[in-house]
Amino acid sequence: MENSKVIAEAKKLGLDKVGFCSAKDFNQNFKSVIAAVFPYYTGKIDGANISKYCFGLDYHKVVARTLSRLADALGLNGFEIFCDIGKNDDRKIAHRCGLGFYGINSLIINEEYGSYFFIGYIFCNEDFEYSAPVNTVCKRCMACKNACPAGAVRGDFTIDADKCLSNVTQKKGELQCNEIAMIKENNSVFGCDICQDVCPHNKNAKKSHFDAFTKNLITKLEYEDLANLSNKEFLKKYGERAFAWRGKKVVERNLSYIKDGKSEK
């Protein structure tokens, strides 16, 4: 199949950054990978206490629907779609497909959208001309490393995931004292954008053009929003949002830490 056909059909779906690589590099029983960028940046929003990637609809579902439509338009058979799920290294795939370069904070950075994008891809059995990795490199200014409240950014293009505040906010059960302190100090209900917000490559990041990520946004949660909701009511109200996947208990717990922190002042 010609790359141009995929690119043309992808553009009809709002996908303006598409790349191709071999699936064999990822121990898959497919020939090729079609990867695409799904930008979600909506601009600076003051007072937000959840990560920017959670403002809109659940990206897992949006990406899956969009790539399913692309696969249908291309007439693909026997394909598989992924986005942040499974054992595949999404960032490695994006890099191999020429969609961006690695930042010191381990994220892939696209020259137009910065690091504010989701990576979606299709494993298929079509032959393509494979993309070349981009030549741009991270500025290595270490702003992300210096700003990380958890000291999770190592400075060698990897992070200590166990320390990462974003991961801490998603852990189940009771947290350690230092973890609770980080949530309180950074007003982090779900996720963390600090290493991205200070990154110079994100300074002029282009805003998203996807309605799913730019309309009917939820940028802030309050303890009172969840306190009187049952688990079923929580899922009914927030089930289409990425922060809902961990369930009500985790989100409510983080909100209670922040609420307690405010009352202590």
Q: What is the band of 25 on the pLDDT scale with cuts at 50, 70, 90?
A: confident
Cα→Cα distances 198→102, 142, 144, Å: 16, 10, 6
Q: Is the pLDDT of residue 143 over 90?
A: yes
Per-residue pLDDT, averaged over 95-122, amounts to 98
Enzyme catalytic residues:
84
| Dihedral in degrees, nearest 10, Cα atoms 227, 214, 107, 89 | 80
At 215, phi and psi to the nearest 5?
A: -120, 155
pTM: 0.95
Residues in Cβ contact with 216 at an 8 Å cutoff, skipping those fewer than 6 apart: 56
Per-residue pLDDT, averaged over 185-214, amounts to 98
**What confidence score (pLDDT) does residue 63 get?**
98
Q: Is the pLDDT of residue 264 over 70?
A: no
Q: Is the pLDDT of residue 260 over 80?
A: no
What H or E segment, with its residue span, contains residue 22?
strand 18-22
Per-residue pLDDT, averaged over 133-150, amounts to 96
Per-residue pLDDT, averaged over 3-30, amounts to 96
